[in-house]
């Protein structure tokens, strides 16, 4: 009798499992679109969360902190070393006429170079020596070509090196 009860219970349990599987299959078949959408939504949500964390991750911050360091007593912290600097005495400026002749500079070009060295603009130079701005630009470009300069500052530097201007 115990054997029959056990067998009856086992068959009943198997039938319940089969019924549950049939019901589960029916549930999956009838709601397959919703399940598919839920799986796709879960995947997109996971990728979105991962990507959001990657993009908005805080960047590394480097903090520079001053730390006091003990200096050994033997090492002097500040040492003054006297240095002798030779300063030339003010001598009157004399233009190197050989350079002027070699470069073929005109007196007007030398005058414009000196005014450029004073820091005057093209308009200010034109007003001071009573020329048009275009004439000053022409003299300046010829001066730059003769000196091999690209800019006003370079022309002034070359003029001082060649002793064309003080």
Q: Answer for the pair 155, 144: CB distance below 8 angstroms, yes or no.
A: yes
Cβ-based neighbours of 105, under 8 Å, separated by 6 or more: 113, 143, 146, 164
Res 162: pLDDT: 86
| H, E, C per residue of 133-166 | HHHHHHHHHHHHHHHCCCCHHHHHHHHHHCCCCC
Res 137: pLDDT: 92
Got the DSSP string for 5-60? HHHHHHHHHHHHHHHHHHHHHHHHHHTHHHHHHHHHHHHHHHHHHHHHHHHSPPPP
Res 33: pLDDT: 78
Radius of gyration in angstroms for the set of CA atoms belonging to the chain, rounded to a whole number: 47
pLDDT digits (tens, 9 = 90+) for 50-100: 888 888 877 777 777 777 777 666 655 566 777 776 666 666 777 888 888
Tell me the two tokens of residue 124.
């200010």
Per-residue pLDDT at 43 exceeds 70: yes
User: What is the average pLDDT across 14-43?
Assistant: 79
More confident position, 42 or 29:
42
Closest CA to 27 of 15, 19, 40: 19
Res 73: pLDDT: 63
pLDDT digits (tens, 9 = 90+) for 124-156: 999 998 989 999 999 999 989 998 888 889 999
Q: Answer for the pair 112, 136: CB distance below 8 angstroms, yes or no.
A: yes
Tell me the two tokens of residue 104.
């073929």
Tell me the two tokens of residue 59.
């960047």
Res 87: pLDDT: 61
């Amino acid at each position: 009798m115990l054997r029959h009860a056990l067998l009856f219970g086992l068959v009943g349990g198997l039938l319940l499992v089969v019924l549950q599987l049939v019901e589960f299959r029916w549930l999956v078949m009838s709601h397959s679109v919703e399940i598919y959408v839920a799986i796709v939504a879960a995947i997109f949500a996971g990728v979105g969360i991962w990507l959001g964390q990657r993009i908005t991750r805080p960047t590394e911050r480097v903090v520079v902190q001053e730390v006091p360091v003990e200096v050994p007593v033997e090492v002097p912290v500040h040492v003054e070393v006297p240095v002798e600097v030779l300063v030339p005495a003010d001598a009157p400026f004399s233009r190197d006429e050989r350079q002027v002749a070699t470069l073929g500079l005109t007196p007007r070009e030398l005058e414009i170079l000196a005014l450029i060295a004073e820091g005057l603009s093209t308009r200010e130079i034109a007003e001071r020596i009573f020329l048009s701005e275009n004439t000053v630009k022409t003299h300046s470009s010829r001066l730059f070509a003769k000196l091999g300069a690209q800019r006003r500052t370079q022309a002034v530097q070359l003029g001082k090196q060649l002793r064309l201007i003080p």
